[in-house]
Structure 1
Amino acid sequence: MADSLGLSLSLMETLKESMENNKLSDVKEAVEDLLISRINLAVVGDRGDEKMSFINALHGLGPGDEGSALSPPDTDPDLLAVYPNPKHPDFRLWDLPPVPTTSPVAPQAYMDQVKFLRYNAVFMTFTESPQPNSVAVFLEARSLQRETVYFTLLASENDTENSLEDKRNTSLGILKAEGVALPKIYLVRPSALEKLDFPVLLEDICRDLPEIRANALLLALPTLTSTLVSQKRDSFKALVWAAASLSGGVSAIPVPLVSSMVDASVGVRILNKARTSLCLDDDSIERLARQRGVDPATLKALRTSDLSAEVTKGGVKKRLKAAEKDLASVSSKLVAMAMPRQARSAGRSFTAMLQALNGAIDEMASDAEKIVAVAIGEEK
Structure 2
Amino acid sequence: MVDVLRGLNLLQSLKESMESNKLSEVKDAVEDLLISRINLAIVGDRVEEKISFINSLHGLCPGDEGAARSSSAVDTDDVVCYPNPKHTDFRLWDLPPVPQLSPFEPETFMDRVKFARYNAVFMTFTQTLTPGVVEVFLQARSLQQHTVYLTFLVSGNDKDKNLEEKRRASVEMLTSKGVSQPKVYLVRPSALETLDFPALLEDMTKDLPEIRSCALLMALPTLTTTLVSQKKEAFKALVWAAASISGGMSTIPVPFVASMVDSSVAVRILSKAQASLCLDDASVERLARQRGVEPLSLKALRACTLSVEVTKGEVKSRLAAAEKDLPSISSKLMQMAVPRHARSAGRSFSATLHALNAAIDDMAADAEKILASAFG
Q: Does the C-alpha gap of structure 1 residues 91 and 8 become closer, same or farther in structure 2, counting only changes over 3 Å?
A: farther
Residue of structure 1 aligned with 2:334, choices 324, 332, 336: 336
Which residue matches 1:140?
A: 139
Distance 1:259 1:29 in 2: 20
* Other structure's SS at 2:152 match: strand
CA deviation digits over 1:224-246, x for unaligned, max 9? 00110011111111101101111
The percentage of aligned residue pairs carrying the same residue is 67
Letter in 2 for 1:92: R
AA aligned to 1:284 is: S
1:5 deviation in Å? 5.0
- Measure, in 1, the Cα distance between the counterparts of 2:370 and 2:291: 12
Matched residue type, 2:206: R
Give matches, 1:16-165, under 5 Å. 16-165=15-164
Across the two proteins, how many residue pairs are aligned to each other? Answer: 369
Q: TM-score, normalised by structure 2?
A: 0.94
| Alpha-carbon distance, 1:79 to partner | 1.1
Structure 2 partner of 1:274: 273
Q: RMSD across aligned C-alpha pairs, in angstroms?
A: 1.9
How big is the shift at 1:142?
A: 0.8
Q: Deviations over 1:34-64 (max 9, x none)?
A: 1011000000000001011001100001111
Q: Distance in 2 between matches of 1:141 and 1:271?
A: 38
- Distance, in Å, in 2 between the alignment partners of 1:343 and 1:57 is 44
| Pairing 1:12–2:8 present | no
Q: Contact between 1:41 and 1:93, CA under 8 Å: does it hold in 2?
A: yes
**Aligned-partner SS, 1:191:** coil
1:129-208 matches, within 5 Å, as 129-208=128-207
8 Å CA contact 2:251, 2:344 repeated in 1: no
SS in 1 for 2:71: coil
Return the offset for 1:251.
4.1
Answer whether contact 1:5 1:231 (CA < 8 A) is retained.
Answer: no
For the residues of structure 1 that align with 2:329 and 2:258, how far apart are their CA atoms? 27
Q: For the residues of structure 2 that align with 1:269 and 1:368, how far apart are their CA atoms?
A: 19
Match runs of 1:186-335 below 5 Å = 186-251=185-250, 262-327=261-326, 329-335=327-333
Q: TM-score, normalised by structure 1?
A: 0.93
The alpha carbon displacement at 1:70 in A equals 1.8
Match of 2:368 in 1: 369
Unaligned runs of 5+ in 1: none
Letter paired with 2:41: A
**Aligned partners of 1:334, 1:295: CA distance in 2, in Å?**
48
SS at match of 1:192: coil
Kindly indicate whether the alpha-carbon contact (under 8 Å) linking 2:247 and 2:338 is maintained by their aligned counterparts in 1: no
Structure 1 residues 148, 189: CA separation in 2 closer, same or farther (over 3 Å shift)? same
Instruction: Provide the C-alpha distance between the structure 2 equivalents of 1:259 and 1:324, rounded to a whole number of angstroms.
Output: 9
Instruction: Give the superposition deviation at 1:204.
Output: 0.5
**1:157-191 deviation per Cα after TM superposition (whole angstroms, max 9, x unaligned):** 12122111111011112212233222110000011
Deviation by residue 1:117-146 (Cα, 9 ceiling, x = unmatched): 000000000011111011101111111110
Letter in 2 for 1:264: S
Three-state SS of the structure 2 residue aligned to 1:330 is: coil
Instruction: Please tell me the residue identity of whatever aligns with 2:310.
Output: V
* Cα distance in structure 1, aligned partners of 2:4 and 2:189: 27
Q: Which residue identity lines up with residue 273 of structure 1 in the other structure?
A: K
Q: Give the Cα separation in 1 of the matches to 2:359 and 2:163.
A: 42
Structure 2 counterpart of 1:104, one-letter code = P
Structure 2: which amino acid aligns with 1:170? A
Summarize deviations over 1:185-206 as a string: whole Å, max 9, x none: 0000011111110011001011
Shift of 1:343: 2.5
